[in-house]
Amino acid sequence: MDLPERLNTSAPSNASNVSNHGAPFWSQYKSSLTTWFVTTLCTAVVCGLIDLVFLVAICTTRKLRTGSGILIGHLTAMEMSMCLVHMPVFLVFVTLNSSTYRDGVRELLRRALGRPCS
């Protein structure tokens, strides 16, 4: 089959018999998206805690309080704030506002908090 013939092929006639009936393709991957959500959130918290250890080490060691140590401490503080504040807020906001995934995350938060989420 030549290239133009392959490009002109149409979808199979039974394409309307799809099991999800118009639902977005990612709706069948809710468990994978939940795993991604939890993994990303845990990674952000772990990175924030590691940054906190670096910041404490810089603040308590007199030798590290030089010009470059202050710069590294500042960068560590900014990264820690991104990991502990921005990343979880952004992740939860985006996930809760996606219409196909909203119910799954609300159920996850309900289980984690032990109360219903509206």
Cα–Cα distance measured from residue 35 to residue 46, given in angstroms and rounded to the nearest whole number: 16
Cα–Cα distance measured from residue 37 to residue 108, given in angstroms and rounded to the nearest whole number: 10
Total count of residues recorded for the chain:
118
pLDDT tens profile 50-67: 999 999 999 999 998 899
- Enter the pTM of the model: 0.58
Which residue ranges in the chain fall short of pLDDT 50?
6-18
> What is the model's pLDDT at position 115?
66
> What is the model's pLDDT at position 97?
72
Burial class of 40 by CB neighbour count within 10 A (0 to 12, 13 to 18, 19+): middle
Residue ranges of alpha helices (H) inside 3-101 are 3-7, 30-60, 67-81, 87-97
Query: What residue has token string 């219903």?
Result: 116
